[in-house]
Amino acid sequence: MLPTRLSLAPRAVVSLLLTFLALSAHASAYFIVEEPTASTQWKNGQAAPVKWDKGVLDGVDAFDLEMARLGSDGLTYVAMNVDTTKNANKVLNIVLDNIPAGDDYFLVFLNSTHGLIHGTSDRFTVLAKDSSSNANASSPDSSASTVTVTSAPNPTNAWATTFALPNGAVRLLTQGLESAFLGVALAMLCSVAGAAWTLL
C-alpha cells in the first residue's frame, strides 16, 4: 500500500505544476472598464472621460471603441487603434454632439479586425444639450486625446477618429490571440502528459 501512495505523489505534484503553469499564462490578461459606470450621465456638448485598466503582458497594444444602445439598433464608431501600450494614457475624452438622449448606451472595447471583445462598459445615460439635468461624469483629462462624436448610431459611418498604431506596425489577424495559442498548446501538452502518466 505504501509504494502506491508514493508513486501517486509525484503524479499529483506534476499535475499541480502543469495546472499552475496553464493558469499563470492567463493571469496577466484582464481588461477593466472604470468609467463610465452605471450611474454616469454624459451630456451633449461636454467632454467626458473613458477610463480603463488592463494587463501589461496581455498582448493587446490597441483597441477600437464603439458605442451602442440596448433599445435600438446601430453602432457609433468612436475611435480606432486607441493606444494601450505600457506608457500610454489609460484615458480617452469623448465629446458627444447631436447624439440622441437615452439611458441605454454602453461602450464596447474590441479589436474590430477579427471581432475580439476585450470588455464592455456599464450602461450609462446620454442627456440632450438643452437638458436641465447636469452631467455627472468625471472631469476630462487634459493630457488625454479628445474624440468628438457627431452622428447618431449608424454602422455605415466611418470611425470618428483613427489613431496611428502605437508601434507603427500593421494590425495582424492574429493580434491578441497569442494567449489563446498558448492555452491550446498547454492543453495539448497536458493531454499528452496525462496519456503518458496513464500508460506508465
> Would you give the DSSP letter of residue 38?
T
Residue 65 pairs in a beta bridge with 79, 109
pLDDT for the residue numbered 6: 45
Cell numbers standing for residue 18? 502543469
pTM for the predicted model, two decimal places: 0.69
CA distance 102 to 41: 10
pLDDT for the residue numbered 176: 57
Mean of pLDDT values over 160-181: 65
pLDDT for the residue numbered 174: 56
Unique residue bearing C-alpha cell 499552475:
20
Cell numbers standing for residue 39? 450611474
pLDDT for the residue numbered 3: 52
pLDDT for the residue numbered 59: 74
Indicate whether 189 pLDDT > 80: yes
Q: Identify whether the C-beta of residue 11 lies closer than 8 Å to the C-beta of residue 197.
A: yes
Mean of pLDDT values over 36-41: 90
Provide the mean pLDDT of the chain.
Answer: 80
Could you give all domains of the chain from N- to C-terminal order, each with its CATH number? 31-176 (2.60.40)
Indicate whether 173 pLDDT > 80: no
Phi-psi region of 98 (alpha: psi -120 to 50; beta: other; left: phi over 0): left
Indicate whether 2 pLDDT > 60: no
Q: Identify whether the C-beta of residue 165 lies closer than 8 Å to the C-beta of residue 84.
A: no
Indicate whether 175 pLDDT > 70: no
Indicate whether 1 pLDDT > 90: no
pLDDT for the residue numbered 123: 93
Within 8 A by CB and 6+ apart from 197, the residues are 11, 14
Please indicate whether residue 171 or residue 196 has the higher confidence score (pLDDT). 196
Mean of pLDDT values over 115-133: 88
